[in-house]
A and B are shown apart, each in its own frame.
Chain A
Amino acid sequence: MERKSLLPYLLILPAFAYLLFFVGYPLVQALFLAFTKNGVFSLDTVRKTISDYYFWSALKYTIALAIAIVPTQLALAVVLALIMNRFFRGRDLAIYALVIPLTISDVAAGLIWYSMLSPYGFLNKLLINIGIISQPIYFFGYQFRSMEFLAIVLAEVWRATSIVFVIILAGLQMISKEYLEAADVFGASYWMKLRRIVIPMLKPSIQSALIIRTLFAMQVFGIVWILAGRDIPVLAGEGFYQLTEIHDYGVASIYALVIAGLSILLGALYIKFLRAEYLEVKV
């Protein structure tokens, strides 16, 4: 630390070079695949992609899913974190239960929710047996798209709220108790403390949670593929389909680039409107 040395740079260099290669090379390659034909610049692939019904549908559904899922997760996670930040008997057990979905893959979550919502699934059997419905509710299949959409939202909220919860809870635990005690001295109510102290101080955590979840929502794939297949097209799923079924690398690359474009756009918006604190890694 006393001398200016190259050591830190040498320590960081391998990781940085690796990342740059695995991000830089694919990006250049994707642009190449998307915008050239036989080695010369061409917009043919772009034209082909945007004239496809599935492209616009995928764009629409990806954005619609993000709008349905992300705010729900945030609201749910904040409520959960506020509850779990209090001390009560069984708290550790409750937190353990709530973070279990954290390690469940989207494919597994899709399968698990299929077992809840399928025609002979738990929910239908339960509702029929208590007499609320007389016929099973159909959640899956091309004719039941809006129900499929709902099932995806349910499954994704179930699976990925835990990560938002963990981030918010960690943020809550970092709020110094003195502020709240001072507020108590001045006779502030619970809501007052929440609005004036807790929520403002949670802002960095909320930001990081929001940005992480929105970026991942742009890439949503496994859960949709399991529960709805191409009934509900999404950008990553169409890219996957073009690559593995049609073997059209150019079109697949355009889907990937659209995901990248949306992510960059959203990232920039968050940074602009929510301040950039979340990127500061406090060490």
Chain B
Amino acid sequence: MNDETKFLLKRIAFYSVVFTFVIWVVLPLIVAILYAFSSKLDYYDPSKIIPTHFTKEYVQIILFTLGAWDGIKNSVIVALITILISFALGVPAGYAIAKFVFPAKDTLKLSIVALRMFPIPVMAIPLVVLYIRLRLVDTLLGVALAHTAMALPFVVLITSSIFAGVSKEYEEAAMVFGLTRLGSFLKITLPLALPGLAAAAMFTFVMSWNEVFVASVLTLYHRTLPAQILSIMAGSSGGAAPDYYRFAAAFIMTIPAMIFIFFARKYLISMWGITLK
């Protein structure tokens, strides 16, 4: 075997490994999407690996009869409130950590990370009791407040690394020319940090969009999408919905997430690299 064939074989081996991994990730998605639209008959026909008859019926039933559409609306509202509050509180903190040197800074930073590690069920169960008293049970605001607690440490860390990436000199120059700290923040730092902040906002959106425990425990009639789907698909009576509804539900839940990844893919690696290194 000469060097050229050796090289070629190595390449083929390399690409087949990559291909295998990619298929392992993508195939279940493709299958779920296909079956979401396949007719009942095709699904129960053992000789049909790939369905050929399609229908929108199940997706429509999930969306409009079983309340997934309301779930989507609720999820979007909860996620937007979560972004709003967690950024209102988190961006100033991130800015402070990035741009100031002060005593106990590391301790504060560490505490914020540590609070993130607090398990969600511990938070959610007592919140039910509190929320009953505050009349927040079964409200979207209630869920959003809990999701904010979950997202806030992340927002602080990610915004601090984004602000740290904006060079100090720009701000100092702006202040030399008579801008206040707030003015230089608004006119210089914020615009430069905007793309990173947008990525962080998208990630916050996805965190809230995917969260199911808090949303299921705190709501009954105003459920977010995952909570709604969970209660349709796995009622306490056990596997309530027929299979083909499950695939339709999987499709509905997955599409927005995939769109997000498409837009945010550039930032994902650097975001995690900076925050978690």
Contact = CB atoms under 8 A, between A and B. Distances in A.
Contact of B125 (A26, A114, A126, A158): A26
B8 to A, nearest CB: 14
Q: What are the 8 tightest A-B residue pairs by CB atom distance, in nearest-first order?
A: A170-B273, A29-B126, A22-B149, A105-B210, A111-B250, A103-B257, A11-B96, A108-B253
B58 interface: no
15 contacts: A14-B88, A14-B92, A33-B129, A88-B14, A94-B22, A100-B257, A108-B253, A111-B253, A113-B28, A116-B32, A128-B46, A158-B25, A221-B121, A252-B125, A260-B122
Nearest to A118: B243
Contacts of B164: 283
A204 B247 contact: no
Q: What's the dominant secondary structure at chain A's contact region?
A: helix
Contacts of A57: none
A126 B27 CA distance: 13
Contacts of B137: none
Contacts of A239: 121, 125
Nearest to B15: A88
Contact of A19 (B15, B153, B257): B153
Please classify how large the interface on chain A is, using the bins under 10, 10 to 19, 20 to 34, 35 or more. 35 or more
Interface residues of B, number: 107
B125 A243 contact: yes
A222 B25 contact: no
Given A14-B92, A281-B275, 18 more contacts: A11-B96, A14-B89, A23-B123, A102-B261, A104-B253, A105-B257, A112-B254, A115-B246, A115-B247, A129-B47, A167-B272, A170-B276, A205-B277, A218-B119, A240-B213, A244-B236, A256-B119, A259-B121
Contacts of A26: 122-127, 130
B164 to A, nearest CB: 4
Interface in B161-175: 161, 164
A139 interface: no
Interface of A: 1, 4, 7-9, 11-12, 14-16, 18-20, 22-23, 25-27, 29-30, 33, 80, 83, 88, 90, 94-108, 111-116, 118, 120-122, 124-126, 128-129, 136, 140, 158, 162-163, 166-167, 169-171, 173-174, 204-205, 208-209, 211-212, 215, 218-219, 221-222, 225-226, 229, 235-236, 239-241, 243-245, 249, 252-253, 255-257, 259-260, 263, 267, 278-279, 281-283
Given A8-B100, A260-B118, A108 B268 contact: no
Contact of A15 (B93, B125, B253): B93
A259 B79 CA distance: 26
A14 B47 CA distance: 61
Given A99-B268, A111-B32, A115-B250, A249 B276 contact: no
B64 interface: no
A95 to B, nearest CB: 8
Interface in B260-277: 260-262, 265, 268-270, 272-277
A240 to B, nearest CB: 7
Contact of A30 (B31, B48, B97, B126): B126
B159 to A, nearest CB: 10
B272 A166 contact: yes
B118 A23 contact: yes
B203 to A, nearest CB: 9
A106 B18 CA distance: 25
